[in-house]
Amino acid sequence: MRIFRHLLFGLGLLVAVLVWFIESPEPTSWIGHTIAPRYLPAIKAYRLLLGRPTPLPNSDQGFAELLELVTINVPRVEKEHVAALRFAGLGFTPSGNGIVIECLDTVGQKIDAAEVFNPEAQIKEHFFDKKIRQAKWALSLVALVLSAIMYVSEIVERRRRERRDGAERTRVNRELATAQAELSDVKAGQDPNRLFDAVKREAESQERRGGPKSPFRRQ
């Protein structure tokens, strides 16, 4: 049980360290790349899409992430029919700036188009911030479960100690009672009056069996 509690403590300490690490990681850091590995390919593909005159094919890194972002804004687009993405221009609205991304089929024909507002912010929110929040939530849940397990193990250990101490007290009390009884018997055997009565009874018993007459006067 002690080893188990030490293991729980070590796991809790590890979770606390991990929570501290993911409090505000940079997207380019190893912790950010580990938790949100799709963010960097998505932002690189977006910036590549803005700077190239030709469409972004589905074989390029980050294509799947950009297509996912497009289908969030235009759910009717069927991913399996999209073979490439093309930058079609800028979009300006009161809520912010955006870009228009066209979805092309295998022969380069336009299937549909989506206007993505504040694309870099959307990419960061969907592929990075969301993953960081999920990781924090998961670690918080793990910490809560570990705390509950440690609490239950502490109760179990306390009750086990109480049962053990109770059994030990019962054993000691029994030994004390036995010792007191033996001491009483010893004391009773050393009482002169009781010794005299025992000798008198033995002499009278021998007289009744035909032995010598008892030296003690009958009362």
Sheet of 56-57, strand order: 56-57, 84-93, 96-104, 110-117
Residue 148: the pLDDT is 78
Instruction: Answer for the pair 101, 49: CB distance below 8 angstroms, yes or no.
Output: yes
Residue 156: the pLDDT is 82
Rounded to the nearest integer, the mean pLDDT of the chain is 78
pLDDT band at 41 (very low <50, low <70, confident <90, very high): very high
The percentage of the chain sitting over the pLDDT mark of 70, rounded to a whole number, equals 69
Average pLDDT over residues 20-41: 83
Q: 4-25 b/e with 16+ CB inside 10 Å = b? A: eeeebeebbeebeebeebbeeb
Average pLDDT over residues 168-196: 68
Residue 85: the pLDDT is 92
Residue 153: the pLDDT is 78
Instruction: Answer for the pair 69, 122: CB distance below 8 angstroms, yes or no.
Output: yes
Residue 94 pLDDT exceeds 60 = no
Average pLDDT over residues 177-183: 70
Instruction: Answer for the pair 122, 116: CB distance below 8 angstroms, yes or no.
Output: yes
User: What's the Cα-to-Cα distance from 90 to each of 84, 93, 172, rounded to whole Å?
Assistant: 18, 10, 88
Using alpha carbons only, give the angle 51, 128, 41 rounded to the nearest 5 degrees.
35
Condensed to tens digits (0 to 9), the pLDDT of residues 132-147 reads: 888 888 888 887 787 7
Instruction: Answer for the pair 25, 34: CB distance below 8 angstroms, yes or no.
Output: no
Residue 162 pLDDT exceeds 80 = yes
Condensed to tens digits (0 to 9), the pLDDT of residues 71-80 reads: 888 888 888 8
Residue 32: the pLDDT is 83
C-alpha torsion 116→117→123→124, nearest 10? 180
Instruction: Output the 3-class SS for the chain.
Output: CHHHHHHHHHHHHHHHHHHHHCCCCCCCCHHHHHHCCCHHHHHHHHHHHHHCCCCEECCCCCHHHHHHHHHHHCCCCCHHHCCEEEEEEEEEECCEEEEEEEEECCCCCEEEEEEEECHHHHHHHHHHHHHHHHHHHHHHHHHHHHHHHHHHHHHHHHHHHHHHHHHHHHHHHHHHHHHHHHHHHHHHHCCHHHHHHHHHHHHHHHHHCCCCCCCCCCC
Residue 151 pLDDT exceeds 70 = yes
Residue 92 pLDDT exceeds 90 = no
Residue 1 pLDDT exceeds 60 = no
Structure tokens at 47: 């910036």
Residue 218: the pLDDT is 57
Q: List the domain boundaries for the chain.
A: 2-143
Structure tokens at 119: 């694309």
Residue 177: the pLDDT is 77
